[in-house]
Amino acid sequence: MPIADFYFLEPNRVWRNYLGGAALDRMAGAEEPQDGRFPEDWMLSLTRAVNPGREDTGEGLSKLRDADGNIVPLTEVSEHFSAGLYGEKHLARYGAHPAFLLKYLDSAIRLLLQSHPTAEFAREHLNANAGKTEGYYILETRDPENAYIYLGFQHPMERETFKKAVEEQNSAVMLGNFEKIPVRPGDAFLVPGGMPHAIGEGILMVEIMEPSDFVVRLEYIVNGKPLPEPMRYIGGNSDFGMDMVDFNVYTVDDIRKKFFIRPEEKAAEGSARRFSLFDERYTDCFRVDLLDVNGSCRCSLDNSLAVAVIVEGEGAFFAGNTAAAVKKYDRMLIPASRNGFSFEGKGKILVIRPPLP
């Protein structure tokens, strides 16, 4: 079977230690959507989820569905059609791997305070090529008046004082470093490696990140029980964990100016406006554009693999010689060899691509 003109990304739910996922149930057509322990959908992933005790499940690895309904693992397409899927320049730099990880995340509760390593730290200390810088695009909030994130320290605290609060799991002290930063649908922001953060309750978002599952859990009491120490600090001790925390102080204004995305309009083809969101102004880990379509448009991709996520509206999606009807929250993988796609309808589309080759 040859490589398809494009693929739908199949639901790929992953177990986590927090509650959520009702919106993902709704996307999948469940009659009674409910929150549970599968609050994330790893849309495009060749990264295995790190869930001790669940290693045999293969959680995290994506499956694809072509327009004829045939389902195939991303691992197979990546192995057998690497040149068509990724393009030669991408292969030369990153190998047969998307070089990013893409998720839906639906939080019913506030997530635990956490941090992630930078790519430099991961290379030096974790024997890995990727850290975990992340980009968030907010889709929905369950309580619009009270939707928020914690991002970076707004109040100073010495490393040893903070480490003691982490070891004692004194959340009140830890949270004293942060102020709630309101968010709303359409907001996009960067969470660099090292930045302590937590998503507030009731947020559905698209999450784009470096391809790893490294997490420093600053809060690690789950259902009244502490997580095993290897799950807290990526296999190290609390000092190792603190090495992956940015202790700089950022005011709320600093956060909004430095890490909230300011869309930059660029040339579009057809009845659409195209905005660059995540680009070299903010990160070299991934690229994201937003298409605002009212009619018919073409989206060229410079011979790059891409994922198109319909975040508003519906219409007809075309790539190569294949067409399909698409609706809100559908997501399609376009191989590099197709060099773009077309859309007819009305809606907004996130276009997510790997870093520059």
Helices (H) and strands (E) in the chain, counts: 9, 23
For residue 356, the number of C-alpha atoms closer than 13 Å in the C-beta half-sphere is: 5
Query: Other CB atoms closer than 10 Å to residue 235's CB: what's the count?
Result: 12
The DSSP code sequence of 237-285 is: -HHHHHTT----B--HHHHHHHHB---EEE--EEEEEEEEEESTTT-SS
Section 86-113 average pLDDT: 97
pLDDT given at position 284: 96
183 touches 149 (CB < 8 A)? yes
pLDDT given at position 231: 86
How does pLDDT run across 303-343, given as a tens digit for each residue?
A: 999 999 999 999 999 999 999 999 999 999 999 999 999 99
pLDDT given at position 109: 96
pLDDT given at position 132: 96
Element (H, E) at 163: helix 159-167
Section 117-134 average pLDDT: 96
The yes-or-no verdict on residue 57 having pLDDT over 90 is no
3-state class (DSSP) for residue 24: helix
The yes-or-no verdict on residue 241 having pLDDT over 70 is yes
Section 59-74 average pLDDT: 94
The yes-or-no verdict on residue 218 having pLDDT over 90 is yes
pLDDT band, very low/low/confident/very high, at 59 (cuts 50, 70, 90): confident
Section 41-69 average pLDDT: 85
The phi, psi pair for 165, rounded to 5°, reads: -65, -40
3-state class (DSSP) for residue 330: coil
Q: Which of 130, 58, 123, 124 is nearest to 94 (CA)?
A: 130
Domain spans of the chain? 264-353
pLDDT given at position 55: 62
Burial of 53 (0-12, 13-18, 19+ CB in 10 A): exposed
Percentage above 90 pLDDT, the chain: 92
pLDDT band, very low/low/confident/very high, at 265 (cuts 50, 70, 90): very high
pLDDT given at position 51: 67
pLDDT band, very low/low/confident/very high, at 227 (cuts 50, 70, 90): confident
Section 247-267 average pLDDT: 98
For the domain made up of 264-353, the CATH class stated in words is: mainly beta
74 touches 63 (CB < 8 A)? yes
Element (H, E) at 189: strand 188-191
